[in-house]
């Protein structure tokens, strides 16, 4: 096994200089760094990452805690976040909260014990988030993605949920719909609450009263979305259009529409939030609010790398634009609203 002493001898430097060059700390001249790097490559030296982590008090690992990795939105975010971090020499460790506050606390506590370098998280529905406050107060770089926590001083990357929700519902209204239902996952999530606010404002802007029976909450599962949609579709004065707040809500709603013997857009028009393969390939293709997922992951990575480099300025809150993509799932209502 090649040791650091072997590298130092081959490079013609002291063991201390070799250690500084290989572990990235302290001052090393350019020529010494080049000799040590060359010697390490020739000899096949591998850095002892465990020893390095114990010495530095952290690993070169950033943790990502999404709401539910089964949701393609978070899977794609993780891909672009990982790519950004790996370019700077950091690895991504992932553990889902499954939208459970209790599980989220346990996961974060475990990650802290494993000396993570930083944390990127889509926080679960909660008040206070003491465990995240503790992460921030400990000086561990923290970036919130997709959602915010009121009062928590941390970098964040979100999209214009309220404005995008407003545009989606306004498109339905301009297509002739007045009985428009919404299928939301969890109104305690800031992203969903903002999309719901956009739904409300669009209706109010056109003088349309909000019918509480047309507000469905599906939780965070396809089955919950399916059941909430079935209840709304069974109303004797059912809606002529549906706005769904995320991927799971869209998928569950489409299944409910099918099982109710209805067609899209002939019987009911749909606009969904999030754009994935099935929404563009379905027949008809689904009109959606498309989030800049790649940019969300990349921006979260860039914010994290700023903090890991030692920058300690005020929190940066980045709000990206989502885009309404018009397809074939919206038409004029076939029944009187």
3-state secondary structure 23-87: HCCCCCCHHHHHHHHHHHHHHCCCCCHHHHHHHHCCCCEEEEECCCCCCHHHHHHHHHHHHHHHH
Between 43 and 331, residue with greater pLDDT: 331
Same domain for 98 and 39: no
- The pLDDT of 321-337, averaged and rounded, is 86
Q: Is residue 230 part of a domain?
A: yes
Contact 60, 70 (CB under 8 A): no
Same domain for 235 and 167: yes
- The pLDDT of 158-179, averaged and rounded, is 98
Burial annotation 102-128 (CB, 10 A radius, 16+ → b, else e):
eebbebbeebbeeebbbbbbbbbbbee
Q: Residue 316 pLDDT > 60, yes or no?
A: yes
Same domain for 122 and 154: yes
pLDDT score, position 112: 82
Q: Per-residue confidence at 290, pLDDT binned at 50, 70, 90?
A: very high
Least confident piece of the model among 55-64, 201-210, 247-256 = 55-64
Tens of pLDDT, residue by residue over 171-193, are 999 999 999 999 999 999 999 99
Same domain for 316 and 242: no
- The pLDDT of 100-118, averaged and rounded, is 88
Same domain for 230 and 274: yes
Same domain for 80 and 21: no
pLDDT score, position 220: 81
Q: Residue 156 pLDDT > 80, yes or no?
A: yes
pLDDT score, position 36: 86
Same domain for 82 and 39: no
Q: Is residue 337 part of a domain?
A: no
Same domain for 78 and 42: no
Same domain for 231 and 191: yes
Q: Per-residue confidence at 115, pLDDT binned at 50, 70, 90?
A: confident
Least confident piece of the model among 108-112, 270-274, 301-305 = 108-112
pLDDT score, position 237: 95
Least confident piece of the model among 46-55, 86-95, 154-163, 204-213 = 46-55
Q: Is residue 328 part of a domain?
A: no
CB-based burial of residue 15 (10 Å sphere; 0-12 exposed, 13-18 middle, 19+ buried)?
middle
Q: Is residue 184 part of a domain?
A: yes
Tens of pLDDT, residue by residue over 67-100, are 998 899 999 999 999 999 999 989 999 999 999 9
Residue 97 sits in a domain whose CATH number is 3.40.50.2300
pLDDT score, position 330: 96
Tens of pLDDT, residue by residue over 50-65, are 455 444 445 689 999 9
Q: Is residue 217 part of a domain?
A: yes
CB-based burial of residue 43 (10 Å sphere; 0-12 exposed, 13-18 middle, 19+ buried)?
middle
Same domain for 221 and 190: yes
pLDDT score, position 57: 45
Q: Residue 48 pLDDT > 60, yes or no?
A: no
Same domain for 302 and 287: no
Q: Is residue 245 part of a domain?
A: yes
Same domain for 258 and 165: yes
How far is Cα 324 from Cα 170, in angstroms, rounded to an integer?
11
Domain that holds residue 144: 61-159+293-320
pLDDT score, position 31: 86
* SS3 category, 277: helix
How far is Cα 253 from Cα 90, in angstroms, rounded to an integer?
39
Least confident piece of the model among 53-62, 151-160, 270-279 = 53-62
Element (H, E) at 242: strand 241-244
Tens of pLDDT, residue by residue over 223-240, are 999 999 999 999 999 999
Q: Is residue 145 part of a domain?
A: yes
pTM of the model: 0.81
Angle at 295 between CA 293 and CA 297, to 5 degrees: 70
* SS3 category, 302: helix
Enter the tokens of residue 323.
């885009």
State how many domains the chain has.
Answer: 3
Q: Is residue 56 part of a domain?
A: no
pLDDT score, position 111: 87
């Amino acid at each position: 096994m090649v040791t650091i002493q072997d590298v130092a001898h081959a490079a013609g430097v002291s063991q201390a200089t070799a250690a500084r060059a290989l572990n990235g700390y302290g001052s090393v001249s350019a020529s010494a760094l080049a000799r040590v790097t060359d010697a390490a490559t020739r000899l096949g030296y591998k850095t002892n990452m465990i020893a390095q982590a114990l010495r530095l008090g952290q690993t070169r690992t950033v943790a990502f805690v999404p709401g539910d990795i089964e949701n393609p939105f978070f899977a794609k975010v993780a891909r672009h976040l990982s790519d950004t971090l790996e370019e700077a020499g950091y690895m991504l460790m992932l553990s889902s909260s499954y939208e459970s506050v209790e599980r989220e606390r346990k996961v974060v506590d475990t990650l802290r014990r494993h000396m993570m370098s930083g944390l990127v998280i889509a926080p679960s529905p909660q008040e206070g988030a003491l465990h995240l406050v503790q992460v921030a107060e400990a000086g561990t770089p923290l970036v919130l993605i997709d959602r915010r926590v009121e009062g928590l001083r941390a970098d964040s990357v979100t999209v214009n949920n309220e404005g995008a929700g407003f545009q989606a519902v306004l498109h339905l209204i301009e297509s002739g719909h007045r009985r428009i239902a919404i299928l939301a996952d969890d109104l305690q999530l800031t992203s969903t609450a903002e999309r719901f606010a956009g739904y409300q404002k669009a209706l109010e802007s056109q003088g349309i009263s909000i019918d509480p029976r047309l507000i469905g909450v599906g939780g965070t599962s396809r089955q919950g979305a399916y059941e909430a949609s079935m209840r709304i579709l069974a109303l004797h004065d059912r809606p002529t259009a549906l706005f769904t707040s995320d991927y799971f809500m869209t998928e569950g709603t489409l299944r409910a529409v099918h099982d109710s013997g209805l067609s899209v857009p002939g019987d009911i028009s749909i606009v969904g939030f999030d754009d994935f393969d099935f929404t563009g390939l379905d027949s008809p293709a689904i009109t959606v609010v498309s989030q800049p997922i790649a940019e969300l992951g990349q921006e979260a990575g860039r914010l994290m790398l700023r903090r890991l480099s030692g920058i300690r300025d005020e929190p940066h809150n980045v709000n990206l634009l989502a885009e309404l993509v018009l397809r074939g799932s919206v038409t004029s209502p076939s029944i009187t609203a």
